[in-house]
Amino acid sequence: MTDNITIDTTPVYKSVPDNEVKGGIIVIHEVWGLNDHIRNVADRFASEGYLVYAPDLLSKTGIEEKVTAQLQKDLFDPEKRNEIQPKMRQLMAPIQEPQFAKDTVNSLKQIFDSLYSEKLTNGKVAVVGFCFGGTYSYNLAVAEPKLKAAVPFYGHSNQTVEELRQIQAPIQAFYGEKDEALIANLPDLENRMHEAEVDFNYKVYTDCGHAFFNDTNPYAYNESAAKDAWNKTLEFLSTSFNR
């Protein structure tokens, strides 16, 4: 069963399993917003027994799905990339503002509280995010000590060691080898996580880059990596929820 709800002022796609609920998952979208791909991911988790909230965190920015869908297609097309990049930067400018980050984390905490209070989740809530959502998965892990697990796909974490010490949840991260900027920063992130004593593990997939999990993106999708990451995510969530 699926539904569209609102938590505070944030639109949320809700996907409910047909059978016994194992826990709750917040699924955070890519920079392209809450689109059919993310709804499909939410439904896939629901089919595995998780109650899922997938918020539209770009709903207040004016960035619309129909606009970003074409931009996404063109941005990953080598022949159109240079032409599209300036338009992309202009469209995404609102999400670079510091106040946007603060407001978004606050919205995620409200969404967490709502899912956490659902009787079906029994106080077990994790976050899974992609790209933009991967970054905010790290942010939510810092901000919410009751979080059971975090799974950032190709996310960025710039928190200090002191901030990372706030994390109570285990983290399983995924990256593509060709995602050069994130891969270059990965050793530093690993060192900071180790110093902060966070239970942090990651997997880097060869022969793929950013957005390798997105099966609607023909330029980035890597079927083998996506399947393996999906299976590892399910195993990690099961272990984390049953601690």
Amino acid residing at 102:
K
Q: Any idea which fold 2-241 has?
A: Rossmann fold (3.40.50)
Q: What is the pTM of this model?
A: 0.91
With 60 as the cut, is the pLDDT of residue 87 above it? no
Segment 114-141 shows an average pLDDT of 97
Query: Helix, strand or coil for residue 152?
Result: strand
CB 171 within 8 A of CB 141: yes
Query: Would you place residue 72 in the very low, low, confident or very high pLDDT band (cuts 50, 70, 90)?
Result: low
Each residue's pLDDT tens digit, 6-65 = 999 999 999 999 999 999 999 999 988 899 999 999 999 999 999 999 999 998 776 665
With 80 as the cut, is the pLDDT of residue 71 above it? no
With 70 as the cut, is the pLDDT of residue 73 above it? no
Each residue's pLDDT tens digit, 150-195 = 999 999 999 999 999 999 999 999 999 999 999 999 999 999 999 9
Residue of 115, 183, 112 whose CA lies nearest to 141: 112
Return the pLDDT at 54: 98
With 90 as the cut, is the pLDDT of residue 140 above it? yes
Segment 78-103 shows an average pLDDT of 71
Half-sphere exposure of 63 (CA within 13 A, CB side): 24
Judged on CB neighbours under 10 Å (0-12, 13-18, 19+), 242 is exposed
Return the pLDDT at 92: 60
With 80 as the cut, is the pLDDT of residue 105 above it? yes
Return the pLDDT at 61: 76
CB 166 within 8 A of CB 62: no
Domain range annotation of the chain:
2-241
Return the pLDDT at 32: 85
Greater confidence (87 vs 196) lies with 196
